[in-house]
Structure 1
């Protein structure tokens, strides 16, 4: 199962989310998109998920805090306890033995990040 993890600021646009996802490898073959649970109901994320034809997996902040990520944002570490929301969400949602196939990429306007993980599901 292939999952795209997404991190984003509240003011993110659909274009920025789409740009980050495309830079990470695109929607082909995705089983879901994932993000921190307090942002899983964001309308812009729902729009992207509909475009991709996949469900949204909400990952609790507690789960994200326990995930080691190859990239590190000091702001994200301070707020979430993990280096990358996108990488951590992708890994957590793809299952216990998931691995990243695309590390975090950032949209040009810096409001969206995306990473893709592959695993056997949870």
Structure 2
């Protein structure tokens, strides 16, 4: 299974999230932090793509990239990478590292593994 983890700014629209997802690659599900899962943009993306949306706890998930801002807010280096990994069972691996939408409003990373 492939999960696309998404991180995004409050002002991001569905176009920003869709662009980040397109740049990262194919996925079977979307994942983000619980506080972001209710945002209209990600809910619209889930509806448009037909992919399930998973709200996952990301704190403490090790990621290859690191943002000081994300670390302070979420307890992990990259919300996109951590969400993708946390949605899958231990042993999941990133197959597409964090990529950013053209407008810089959203990030996406793809992990592959067994469902958690």
Report TM bin, short chain: over 0.9
Aligned to 2:31: 34
- Indicate the residue corresponding to 1:9 in structure 2: 9
Q: 2:102 — aligned with what? A: 108
Deviation track 1:96-119 (CA, whole Å, cap 9, x = no partner) reads: 111000010111222100000001
Could you state the TM-score of these two structures normalised by the residue count of structure 2? 0.95
2:90 & 2:37 partners in 1: Cα distance?
21
Greater share of residues in helix: 1
Q: Secondary structure at the match of 2:102?
A: coil
- Alignment of 1:68 onto 2:62: yes
Partners of 2:68 and 2:28 in 1: how far apart?
A: 30
Q: TM-score, with normalisation over the residues of structure 1?
A: 0.90
1:86 matched to which residue of 2? Answer: 80
Deviations 1:13-64 (CA, angstroms, capped at 9, x unpaired): 1111011111111xx4x2210000011011111111112211100012xxx1
Aligned length: 116
Structure 2: stretches of 5+ with no match in the other structure: none
